[in-house]
Structure 1
């Protein structure tokens, strides 16, 4: 595919770091990546398989400098077209799939390409699992599960990604990185992005101080609601970093790239049952 000057410039810059066999511009493969599990189609100009966070940071920085739109994709199980674009598509490598479990099995840290069921398989020996349980859990990957706040039918509003997230590693549009579990990372980010954090805190205070608005948000998120940004984070938390990591849940890649996420595990009960309840009114 012949690229326009700006895309050609982008291609040249990332090709210095990323091997050519992981960058696709040919008509066949760009067409193949032009759809996800939805019925929409947008054919990307460039598809990149990213192996690690350093590569993603480079891609984001170069695309941002050239003002080129980009979309992240994990498994591509989206039913609403979130994983397609007619610009730059960044696909997380299937080898980017590390899993770490805490010594007491209460936490699990997952790379973006870990399939949901694989995370549960790693926890099954200790009768634990991750909270989110989307119908596509055998295919969906953690990067997409968290970015879409995918929750499924069982976890409701108590065990979804928003409620079970502990910490997160992020890459922002300017290429900067944040690890919410690291005091040093938070300190560095606070110094380099002080204006951003102040604006976020001001917004949260404004929303919290508006009784009508905050009550409306609380009501909306008291029931299952996975549409768009987690605005409830603006009333649930005061700490800016808590707000950031909960705003990321459901942001569909528009606020930053999820390098890894640490989640609280929940009990995987051995005895389970389903019931159909019928009410007269």
Structure 2
């Protein structure tokens, strides 16, 4: 749905046709073809700019269904935009740009913060503020969390500095409500919806089941997929769903994650949340060379099982990055000890109480000392 309009389509006429098909349902101030307004919506946070033929502000599933039908009838591609904070250009188009309005701001915390249900227009930071009293947070923690919205997080399978792979949307998803391109709504948390979908889309589900069996029968392909998805990988669809799940409904739901709006419109999602420990500490550790720093980070990450070590982040800082802060007083005493390739690692640890935090710090110190790391500063919060 994200390709440019075919050259044969008269974009101006098609845009007028889309507006005519929608004006009975959507107010005129949310249907924009004026060149000034379409230009205003032509860019996102990326370096790309495509001027849409028409901009539609959507606020309900009925409106989404109508927009899908109108775009198809007029031969225009359709792109959804949440906050538009991605740097890769997923949220620009020369066709129909459907932008989330204020009708998607559901936020419901359940089970003492262990689960949270969100609309796609909720900002990540808003969700985390609602979870803070429970010492919980969302797994995905993108750098743009102060402005990015859940719709984009789900459709890009966003992660972040602390999230890694283990806590992205794919792995912390509890439930998904999605509208497919034929207008059908599937709510994976509603047994009646799932049962109806199995009846109405039996052919699609059988196809996914057959694809699952085909992939699972190829040991080399299974090994390749597992290897590729052990690290951050948001290229293409989440085909690891074909080997992680057996039920075709589960496969479909997890294929939606990271599909960038090409398979459907996500109207609601429920996450399993993760711990947000109140006691934290930060260390900056200098290593003699990049290899020892890399080995220490691998030890601290415990082969990706982040929660077992208490280390929430280990950020590698090359020598040139350290050069920019050599004037900082806490760094100056160590400048003479920095070699030409000496990197630093900024390590964050967290724990539920001060005593556990001390233990976690001692464990992380043992791992970094094994690689001759030298602590520069320590901050406890």
TM-score bin (small chain): over 0.9
Residue number among 124, 132, 135 corresponding to 2:132 in the alignment: 124
What is the alpha-carbon distance in structure 2 between the residues aligned to residue 129 and residue 223 of structure 1? 22
Q: Does 1:232 align with 2:240?
A: yes
Aligned residue for 1:109, secondary structure, equals strand
What is the alpha-carbon distance in structure 1 between the residues aligned to residue 111 and residue 223 of structure 2? 39
> Per-residue CA shift, 1:99-143, capped at 9, x if unaligned?
011133211000010000000001001111100000000000000
What is the alpha-carbon distance in structure 2 between the residues aligned to residue 92 and residue 171 of structure 1? 15
Q: CA deviation at 1:3?
A: 5.3
Q: CA deviation at 1:241?
A: 1.4
Q: Name the one with the larger strand percent.
A: 2
What is the alpha-carbon distance in structure 1 between the residues aligned to residue 124 and residue 81 of structure 2? 15
Tell me the equivalent position of 2:266.
Answer: 258
TM-score, length-scaled by structure 1 = 0.96
Choose 176-185 or 89-98, whichever is displaced more. 89-98
What is the alpha-carbon distance in structure 2 between the residues aligned to residue 177 and residue 141 of structure 1? 21
Aligned runs of 1:201-280 on 2, under 5 Å?
A: 201-275=209-283, 278=287, 279-280=291-292
Residue number among 56, 70, 82 corresponding to 2:64 in the alignment: 56
Q: CA deviation at 1:240?
A: 1.1
Aligned residue for 2:122, secondary structure, equals coil
For structure 1, the 5+ residue unaligned runs are none
How large is the Cα RMSD of the aligned pairs? 1.5
What is the alpha-carbon distance in structure 2 between the residues aligned to residue 62 and residue 159 of structure 1? 37
Given that 2:15 and 2:33 are in contact with CA atoms closer than 8 Å, whether structure 1 keeps it comes out as: no
What is the alpha-carbon distance in structure 2 between the residues aligned to residue 274 and residue 56 of structure 1? 45
Q: Does 1:9 align with 2:20?
A: no
Tell me the equivalent position of 2:192.
Answer: 184
- Number of matched residues? 280
Given that 1:23 and 1:49 are in contact with CA atoms closer than 8 Å, whether structure 2 keeps it comes out as: yes
Greater CA radius of gyration, 1 or 2?
2
Given that 2:60 and 2:103 are in contact with CA atoms closer than 8 Å, whether structure 1 keeps it comes out as: no
Given that 1:127 and 1:269 are in contact with CA atoms closer than 8 Å, whether structure 2 keeps it comes out as: yes
Given that 1:64 and 1:173 are in contact with CA atoms closer than 8 Å, whether structure 2 keeps it comes out as: no
Given that 1:64 and 1:174 are in contact with CA atoms closer than 8 Å, whether structure 2 keeps it comes out as: no
Q: Does 1:89 align with 2:68?
A: no
